Amino acid sequence: MTETERPLRADARRNRERIMVAAGELFARRGREAQMEEIAARAGLGMGTLYRHFPNKQALLTAMVGERFHGMAELARAAEQITDAGDAFETILRNYLEAADGDASFQLALMGSDDLEWERIRQQKAEFAAAVTRIIDRAVASGRVRADLTLADFTLVASGVISTMYFKPGGNADWRRHLQLALDGIRKPGTKGRPQRSGN
């Protein structure tokens, strides 16, 4: 209700979209380092236009991250459909990481660096957490993962792998190896999950 929700003029809507795209690319590549001027330039717009649509850099960043986070709850819900509890867990973790791959600002957000106004997306975050918790509970009950696994562990491990993405960008070999090590620490001791995937 805070938003008066006046329909934007055609050009404004088009420009807003351009900003989102430009900001998305630059924040993804450079994280917070991306500069407002670059973003405006890449969108082919002036500074004034940029600031008409977003009151400041933080708001733009938050909007971008929020958009990226939008799909997460859906992702979790999809993983819940998987019958095998162990697979469900590995899938949500893997997909979560896959979603973070290649987007520096999103990675920072997920690692919890922020001061981002997560307020706006608190609900989606909660939804996601709830789904993951259900998946973990099921996986624990099935005996496919260590008995003491919690939602906090999910965050811990995911953030760890994301830090590899963030600090060792480039080929994705590193973070996938990190994920493999992490999964081996999570599975029920002695259990080898699924037959090893051939590739990575």
Partner DNA sequence: GCGGAAGCGGAACTCCGATTCCTGTTGGCC
Partner DNA sequence: GGCCAACAGGAATCGGAGTTCCGCTTCCGC
Q: Which residues bind DNA (CB under 7 A)?
A: 8-12, 14-15, 34-37, 44-49, 51-53, 55-58
Residue 153's Cβ-count burial label (10 Å; 0-12, 13-18, 19+) is middle
Which residues lie closer than 8 Å to 38 by C-beta, 6 or more apart? Answer: 26
Say whether residue 12 binds a second copy (CB under 8 A): no
Instruction: Compute the distance between CA of residue 101 and CA of residue 36 in angstroms, rounded to an integer.
Output: 23
- Cβ atoms of 32 and 24 within 8 Å: the answer is no
Site for a second copy in 44-103 (CB under 8 A): none
- Does residue 161 belong to the site contacting a second copy (CB under 8 A)? yes
- Round to whole Å and give the CA distance between 65 and 44: 22
Where in 165-184 is the site for a second copy (CB under 8 A)? 167-168, 174, 177-178, 181-184
User: Minimum Å distance from CB 79 to DNA?
Assistant: 36
Output DSSP code: residue 136.
H
Selection from a second copy, DNA, none that 111 binds (CB < 5 to 8 A by kind) is a second copy
Tokens of 40: 């405006």
Residue 152 as a binder of a second copy (CB under 8 A): the answer is yes
Per CB under 8 A, residues contacting a second copy are 111-113, 146, 152-153, 156-157, 159-164, 167-168, 174, 177-178, 181-186, 189-190, 192
